[in-house]
């Protein structure tokens, strides 16, 4: 009786309830943090771009990331595609940009990676200061500098050469000793006479040496050689588990990416300023001049599957291991 009158059992009960509530809050917080969320249940999400031309199409997202309920979204540019691939393989990356062959190789390894959209199509130029070169056939006996061995420009060009009766390493010499910016500068300086370059480096070279000639339309040559109307250079990809668990968030991201690409195509000068501001490695005037020639597109991957497979079949022919030895199946294409 004296215990009740002193109120001690009631205080003890209150303390037990407080303890239980604190313990429950602790475990809830631990659960949320384990899932990458803060105490309000908001999860961090990074949309990864790549420095250089691949990141230009999504540049408005660097300035204003999409607002997605339940997520704290930021946008970050990595220095190169290999770093992006590593983050998807480790599971750190959920949304980002990859070349088609890298995306296919990751998917073939067993990782549930899905192509969401083609966001960059063929943007290659064959430039020459050699007056004797005015067609693909004129390349016989010549040396051509090619941007990035074993990547899309290399294999697309090999396919085109062979269609025109030229065998690389026998009828023509392909050089791979320089990165695209160096190739552009070497064309300007006259150290290189023929080169295959992607945008914006082709525009950079033409601006620095106006007497350079664009020999042919590489995209049309690709189509003539058996490819589709164009070839994808860049894919927006998403982690499969993330896509399944967060379909609404993925839809918001895809809408934001499409809106950014539309904005960039309509506002090339402003896009150039943002590219320089966010340090994607390109100068604003170069980006502004190159955007109209750069084939930034938004094609849902399911719609672009034929063009993706046409390109991947070329990788399969020249370097099967570069896409994991097989074409990715239907599950690779985000529905």
Of the pLDDT bands very low, low, confident and very high (cuts 50, 70, 90), residue 135 is: very high
Predicted pLDDT at 291 = 97
pLDDT of 17 above 80: no
Distance between CA atoms of residues 126 and 112, nearest Å: 37
In Å, the largest CA–CA distance within the chain is 112
At CA 119, angle to CA 213 and CA 269, rounded to 5? 60
The per-residue pLDDT for 248 is 97
Determine the average pLDDT of the residues in 225-248: 95
In whole angstroms, give the CA distance from residue 143 to residue 115.
Answer: 36
| pLDDT band for position 41 (cuts 50, 70, 90) | confident
Tell me which of 12 and 124 has the higher pLDDT: 124
The domain of 257 spans 43-120+232-305
Position 244 in a domain: yes
Are 94 and 142 part of one and the same domain? no
pLDDT of residue 63: 96
Task: State whether 202 and 145 are in the same domain.
Answer: yes
Note the pTM of the prediction, 2 decimals: 0.85
Judge contact between 317 and 101, C-beta under 8 A. Answer: no
Answer with the one of 194, 224, 254 that is the final residue of a domain.
Answer: 224
Listed in sequence order, the DSSP H helices in 97-217 are 100-108, 152-163, 180-189, 201-208
Total of domains in the chain: 3
- Mean pLDDT, the chain, rounded, equals 90
Return the pLDDT at 229: 81
Tell me, yes or no, whether 191 lies in a domain.
yes
Q: Are residues 22 and 81 in the same domain?
A: no
Q: Is the peptide bond between 56 and the residue preceding it cis, with omega within 30 degrees of 0?
A: no
Q: What is the DSSP letter of 168?
A: B
Could you count the other beta carbons within 10 Å of the beta carbon of residue 265?
A: 17
Nearest to 242 by CA among 78, 48, 100: 48
Q: What is the pLDDT, as a whole number, of residue 228?
A: 83
Pair 168, 108 in one domain? no
For the beta sheet containing 173-175, the strands, ordered from the edge strand earlier in sequence to the opposite edge, are: 173-175, 143-146, 194-198, 124-128, 213-217
69 plus 129 within the same structural domain: no
- pLDDT digit string, tens, across residues 168-220: 999 999 999 999 999 999 999 999 999 999 999 999 999 999 999 999 999 99
Instruction: Write the CB contacts of 119 (distance below 8 Å, at least 6 apart in sequence).
Output: 57, 58, 97, 234, 235, 236, 257, 261, 296, 297, 298
Please state the φ and ψ torsions of residue 120, each to the nearest 5 degrees.
-150, 125
Domain assignment present for 217: yes
3-state secondary structure of 75: strand
| In a domain? residue 188 | yes
Question: Distance between CA 162 and CA 99 in Å, rounded?
Answer: 23
- Statement to judge: residues 128 and 220 lie in one domain: yes
């Amino acid at each position: 009786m004296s215990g009740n009158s002193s109120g001690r059992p009631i205080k003890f009960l209150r303390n037990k309830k407080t303890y239980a509530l604190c313990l429950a809050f602790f475990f809830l917080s631990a659960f949320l943090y384990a899932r990458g969320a803060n105490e309000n249940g908001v999860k961090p999400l990074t949309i990864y771009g790549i420095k250089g031309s691949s990141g230009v199409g999504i540049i408005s997202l660097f300035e204003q990331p999409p607002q997605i309920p339940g997520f704290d979204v930021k946008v970050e540019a990595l220095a190169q595609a290999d770093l992006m691939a590593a983050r998807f393989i480790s599971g750190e990356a959920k949304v980002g940009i990859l070349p088609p062959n890298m995306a296919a190789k990751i998917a073939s390894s067993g990782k549930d990676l899905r192509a969401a959209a083609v966001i960059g199509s063929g943007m290659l130029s064959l430039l020459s200061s050699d007056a004797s070169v005015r067609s693909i056939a004129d390349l016989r006996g010549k040396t051509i500098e090619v941007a990035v061995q074993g990547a899309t420009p290399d294999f697309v060009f090999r396919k085109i050469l062979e269609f025109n009766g030229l065998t690389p390493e026998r009828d023509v010499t392909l050089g791979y000793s320089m990165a695209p910016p160096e190739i552009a500068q070497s064309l300007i300086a006259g150290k290189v006479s023929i080169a295959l370059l992607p945008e914006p480096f082709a525009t950079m070279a033409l601006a620095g040496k106006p007497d350079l000639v664009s020999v042919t339309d590489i995209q049309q040559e690709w189509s003539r050689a058996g490819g589709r109307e164009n070839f994808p250079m860049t894919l927006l990809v998403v982690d499969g588990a993330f896509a399944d668990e967060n379909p609404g968030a993925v839809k918001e991201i895809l809408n934001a990416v499409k809106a950014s690409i539309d904005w960039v195509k309509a506002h090339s000068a402003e896009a150039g300023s943002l590219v320089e501001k966010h340090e994607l490695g390109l100068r604003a005037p170069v980006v502004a001049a190159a955007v109209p020639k750069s084939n930034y597109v938004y094609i849902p991957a399911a719609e672009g599957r034929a063009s993706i497979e046409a390109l991947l079949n070329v990788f399969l022919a020249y370097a099967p291991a570069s896409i994991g030895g097989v074409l990715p199946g239907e599950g690779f294409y985000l529905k």
